[in-house]
Structure 1
């Protein structure tokens, strides 16, 4: 199997178009997460709004405008939290001075189970039991004929069943060197034959 290799440097302008400063709708949807993450943000919003309301009741009337704005921002954390998360991720990517468009092939695909959380419960005998929450994740190893390889891990989705070794893989790579000889960060991987992002 011939492993293709293509690394094209990107201009800063093109790179900034690919990685926007503010989160896109797709990034917002991804960073919103599943229901437990939404519930966590909603609870944080409720607690912040409640604390601000209590502080407002006992505070100096001159601080009311500041507390109102703080309360609104805290109460809407459930809404703007994913935007902040995605925007910080984009900011991290944009902090690298050089980037390139990389093309290679999928070398390996495998599934692992990762611990994503712990839950403490009590059994019938009154003993504390810690239960690990496991999540199946896809591991995608990609590489090219120059010897560059990297592995990306993501939550498993049904659509990922179509990914197989040998398929073309595309991504944006970031570097601190203008010749891109040292790759420091990789974007999500795009599999064009399946129209899939991992």
Structure 2
């Protein structure tokens, strides 16, 4: 089932700037932090070199370069996450999708290659592979899609028939052509399946509860027959 949502709700679900969860995702692993820290150190050294080379009058420029590059390790995850959010928010229309899990199975995917030389001087190509989860979801209206994300231990609990929800984006008002979708929320055990936390998950669950209440059929009124009062003669 696909339920159109307003632009206001869409922008609440997909924030313009990075959330804490998105910041942690973009921060990556320890090696990613060290790489950003190295860039910051090089930037500070460049600022000192400019201070020694440039004549007086460029102190403000040197100070700005030193501050921006020196704090690159801190602000770069915010920048890259916000840029990714902006790309998602460019779609003019969005909808809240509900369906079921059709299938879930792991696979090994090639994510990159590296070229190196062995002891014999021969060129060797090393393939970098990653275990991924393939999640197929569908609804009764005929929409189906296959989502592929890095495999995690919690994915072992996924079974066909589990209830699934996600946000879908389109450039058509009737949402007849889906261009992008968000992370998938498996309602039965509050599990998120994603490669990137593109939506605010607290807002997502609030929207889900509100839509459930709005779509819930009103209770039927039953007209109870009136009881007649019996009159007795003395």
Instruction: Answer whether TM exceeds 0.5 for this pair.
Output: yes
Distance 1:46 1:120 in 2: 29
3-state DSSP of counterpart to 1:181 = coil
Indicate how the Cα distance of structure 1 residues 18 and 50 shifts in structure 2: closer, same or farther if over 3 A, else same: same
Shift of residue 98, structure 1, vs aligned partner: 0.9
5+ residue gaps in structure 1?
A: 1-5
Q: CA RMSD in A?
A: 1.8
SS in structure 2 of the partner of residue 46 of structure 1:
helix
Find 1:94's aligned residue among 68, 89, 92. 89
- How many angstroms apart in 2 are the aligned matches of 1:195 and 1:55? 53
CA–CA distance in structure 1, aligned partners of residues 62 and 117 of structure 2: 40
The answer to whether the aligner puts 1:185 opposite 2:185 as a matched pair is no
Please tell me whether residue 144 in structure 1 is matched to residue 144 in structure 2.
no
Comparing 113-122 with 30-39, greater Cα deviation is found at 113-122
Q: Is it true that 1:65 corresponds to 2:30 in the alignment?
A: no
User: Following the alignment from structure 2 to structure 1, what is the Cα–Cα distance between the partners of residues 177 and 161?
Assistant: 24
For residues 148-181 of structure 1, the C-alpha deviation after alignment (integer angstroms, 9 at most, x for no partner) is 1222222111111111221111111111111111
Report the counterpart of residue 3 of structure 1 in structure 2.
none
Which has the larger strand fraction? 1
Larger radius of gyration: 2
Question: What is the count of residue pairs matched by the alignment?
Answer: 193
* TM-score, with structure 1 as normaliser: 0.88
TM-score (norm 2): 0.75
Cα distance in 2, alignment partners of residues 46 and 132 from structure 1 = 32
The offset of 1:47, in angstroms, is: 2.5
Shift of 1:87: 0.9
* Counterparts in 2 of 1:54 and 1:120: CA distance versus 1, 3 Å: farther
Q: Hey, what's the Cα distance between the residues in 1 that align with 2:111 and 2:65?
A: 31
Give the gaps of 5 or more residues in structure 2. 194-234
Partner Cα distance (1:81, 1:110) in 2: 35
Cα deviation, residue 121, structure 1? 4.0
**Stretch deviating more after TM superposition (90-99 or 46-55):** 46-55
Distance 1:175 1:76, change over 3 A: same
Larger relative CO (CA 8 A, sep 6+): 1 or 2?
A: 1
1:120-160 CA distance string (max 9 Å, x none): 44433344433232221112121112221222222111111
**SS class of match (2:140):** coil
